């Protein structure tokens, strides 16, 4: 049961939900004429969810890593991660292309930007230094970069792989600090935020090596501590604790709670009996990737509905409509698209018994 690491999955679902809620609240602020995508709610999204994503991603990569020291193991890891991440991302990106083309015409689609997005290469767009055609795709450009470096590490024996990861990530950040690249891709891949993935990897290696002696927290204590940290961090953000800081800068105020939360999640024992709360968190965790990718599309659909209303409701009603809509939309995308794609592309073929030949 511990192998499933259900608490980590729950945490990932909560982080994705925070992104979706933040985007919904940004639209509420815009409707009220008091904010835009660079407001406080964006700070909550950038400062909390992306940090958790990267730490959790590093931990999961260690947890699912296969053989070390072989080319086939490294190649299998890289192809499986690509097949896990790319198809649904491409599907949602092309859905966004269709929406843009229908709303503003095909000329509004920048095919150079689209190509870079599909290649997981960040680019500058307006005030955003690290952009993607699908707004949330900027984090996936980091993810694919992490996967490539981790696959290189898998070519080595595990001790050398750990040393390589530490040297590679620290070396890249040092190079970024010295040379300060201006182009979006080099700046993204040498920014301090990549150290979060390394930190997640180190937590993963420590957990696997010292698992027999790893502290175990009761579900009540573990989830209470996680809730307390998340609430405190969101309150601090909305009080302006991270004003003026970019999401890729070194932010110890954000990083320490994120690392602590992931360590608590790893240490929390899974519940022995399922409840409505745990089933809801499990469903949220299972559909988290679909929720993350599809919620911008769902919000656009809600906006189209909103703009066609014969009256103008209070702006807060948009949140009441859009937040449940993105959750339901994420689950629908998970059931109809993500889960079938994973089954099709990643399920191992069943071994068939050899046919008995006649004597």
- The domain total for the chain is 1
- What is d(CA 169, CA 323) in angstroms, rounded to the nearest whole number? 37
pLDDT at residue 186 in the model: 94
3-state secondary structure 259-328: HHHHHHHHHECCCCCCCHHHHHHHHHHHCHHHHHHHHHHHHHHHHHHHHCCCCCCCCHHHHHHHHHHHHH
User: Which residues make beta-bridge pairs with 271?
Assistant: none
In a domain, 23, yes or no: yes
In a domain, 350, yes or no: no
In a domain, 351, yes or no: no
Residue pair 9/270 in contact by the 8 Å Cβ criterion? no
In a domain, 37, yes or no: yes
| Integer-rounded Cα radius of gyration of the chain | 21
In a domain, 63, yes or no: yes
Which residues have C-beta within 8 Å of that of residue 329, sequence separation ≥ 6? 291, 294, 295, 297, 298, 301
Coil, helix or strand at residue 129? strand
Q: What pairing do the DSSP bridges indicate for beta strands 123-125 and 128-131?
A: antiparallel
For residue range 42-62, what is the model confidence (pLDDT) as tens digits?
555 555 678 888 999 999 999
pLDDT at residue 66 in the model: 78
Could you tell me how many helices (H) and strands (E) the chain has, helices first?
Answer: 15, 2
In a domain, 358, yes or no: no
- What is d(CA 276, CA 263) in angstroms, rounded to the nearest whole number? 25
| Averaged pLDDT score across all residues of the chain | 87
For 166, the domain range is 2-344
For residue range 171-218, what is the model confidence (pLDDT) as tens digits?
999 999 999 998 999 999 999 999 999 999 999 999 999 988 899 999
Whole-prediction pTM? 0.90
In a domain, 152, yes or no: yes
- What is d(CA 23, CA 12) in angstroms, rounded to the nearest whole number? 17
In a domain, 354, yes or no: no
- What is d(CA 2, CA 64) in angstroms, rounded to the nearest whole number? 14
pLDDT at residue 250 in the model: 67
Distance of CA 150 to the CA centre of its chain: 17
The Cβ of residue 65 has, within 10 Å, a number of other Cβ atoms equal to: 21
The string of DSSP codes covering 146-202 is HHHHHHHHTTS-HHHHHHHHHHHHHHHHHHHHHH---SHHHHHHTSGGGHHHHHHHH
Longest Cα separation, the chain: 84
58 is written with which tokens? 């590093």
For residue range 278-311, what is the model confidence (pLDDT) as tens digits?
899 999 999 999 999 999 999 999 999 999 999 9
For residue range 20-46, what is the model confidence (pLDDT) as tens digits?
988 898 888 888 876 554 455 555 555
């Amino acid at each position: 049961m511990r192998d499933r690491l259900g608490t980590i999955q729950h945490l990932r679902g909560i982080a994705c939900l925070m992104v979706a809620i933040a985007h919904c609240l940004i639209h509420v602020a815009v409707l009220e004429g008091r904010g835009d995508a660079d407001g406080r709610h964006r700070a909550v999204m950038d400062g909390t969810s992306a940090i958790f994503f990267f730490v959790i991603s590093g931990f999961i990569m260690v947890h699912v890593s296969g053989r070390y020291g072989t080319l086939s193991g490294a190649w299998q890891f890289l192809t499986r991660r690509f097949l896990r991440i790319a198809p649904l991302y491409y599907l949602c990106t092309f859905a966004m292309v269709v929406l843009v083309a229908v709303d503003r015409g095909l000329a509004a689609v920048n095919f150079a930007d689209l190509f870079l997005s599909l290649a997981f290469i960040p680019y500058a767009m307006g005030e955003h230094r690290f952009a993607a055609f699908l707004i949330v795709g900027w984090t996936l450009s980091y993810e694919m970069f992490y996967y490539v470096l981790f696959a290189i590490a898998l070519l080595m024996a595990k001790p050398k792989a750990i040393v390589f990861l530490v040297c590679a990530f620290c070396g890249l950040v040092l190079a970024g600090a010295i040379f300060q690249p201006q182009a979006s891709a080099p700046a993204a891949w040498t920014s301090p935020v990549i150290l979060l993935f390394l930190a997640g990897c180190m937590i993963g290696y420590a957990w696997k090596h010292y698992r027999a002696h790893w502290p175990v927290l009761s579900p009540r204590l573990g989830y209470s501590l996680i809730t307390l940290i998340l609430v405190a961090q969101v309150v601090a953000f909305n009080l302006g604790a991270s004003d003026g800081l970019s999401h890729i800068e070194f932010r110890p105020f954000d990083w320490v709670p994120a690392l602590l939360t992931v360590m608590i999640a790893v240490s929390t024992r899974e519940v022995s009996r399922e409840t409505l709360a745990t089933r809801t968190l499990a469903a949220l965790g299972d559909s988290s990737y679909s929720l993350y990718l599809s919620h911008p599309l769902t919000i656009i659909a809600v906006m189209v509905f909103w703009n066609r209303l014969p009256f103008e409701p209070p702006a807060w009603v948009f949140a009441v409509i859009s937040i449940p809509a993105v959750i339901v939309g994420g689950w629908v995308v998970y059931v109809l698209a993500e889960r079938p794609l994973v089954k099709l592309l990643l399920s191992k073929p069943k071994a068939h018994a050899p046919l008995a030949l006649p004597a």
